[in-house]
Structure 1
Amino acid sequence: MSVRDKVRSPCVSVCALDENDECIGCQRTVDEITRWSQMSNDERLEVLKKVAEREQRVAL
């Protein structure tokens, strides 16, 4: 798989953790951020689904 085919990181270069240890920029957990480079595309897509759910929660 080429680099072009990999699911891109949702990082927006606003790196700070909230009280739940989730990044306020990309909404990923510390574990998700740390493991991102070793994840398969399927795992990354699952993380992005969780990120979308967290974004909805924060928006409320």
Structure 2
Amino acid sequence: MPHDSTPPAAPLTPCIGICRLDSRGWCEGCLRSGEEIARWRGMDEAERLRYMREILPARARA
């Protein structure tokens, strides 16, 4: 029986381990809202990528 030695892919997340909400309600580390953090695991990969490529960078520039 062949053995697949490829490790599982890491979950796609912008989390950097600084988990505090600021006065806007955005995480100081990843810029997601509390609601977005809660929904993250239920999002499909396309929606997560859209957040990471468009929404979160736009927040960082704001």
Identity %: 33
| 1:10-55 alpha-carbon deviations (Å, 9 max, x no partner) | 0000000011110010011111110111100111122222101011
Q: Which residue of 2 aligns with 1:46?
A: 50
- Deviation for aligned residue 1:5: 7.8
2:13 maps to 1:12: no
Larger radius of gyration: 2
- CA gap 1:4/1:17 in 2 versus in 1, 3 angstroms: same
CA contact (8 A) 1:22 1:28 kept: yes
Q: Which residue of 2 aligns with 1:56?
A: 61
TM-score w.r.t. the length of structure 1 is 0.78
Count of residue pairs the alignment pairs up: 54
2:15 maps to 1:31: no
Gaps of 5+ in 2: 1-7
Q: Which runs of 4+ in 1 moved over 3 A?
A: none
How many angstroms apart in 2 are the aligned matches of 1:5 and 1:26? 17
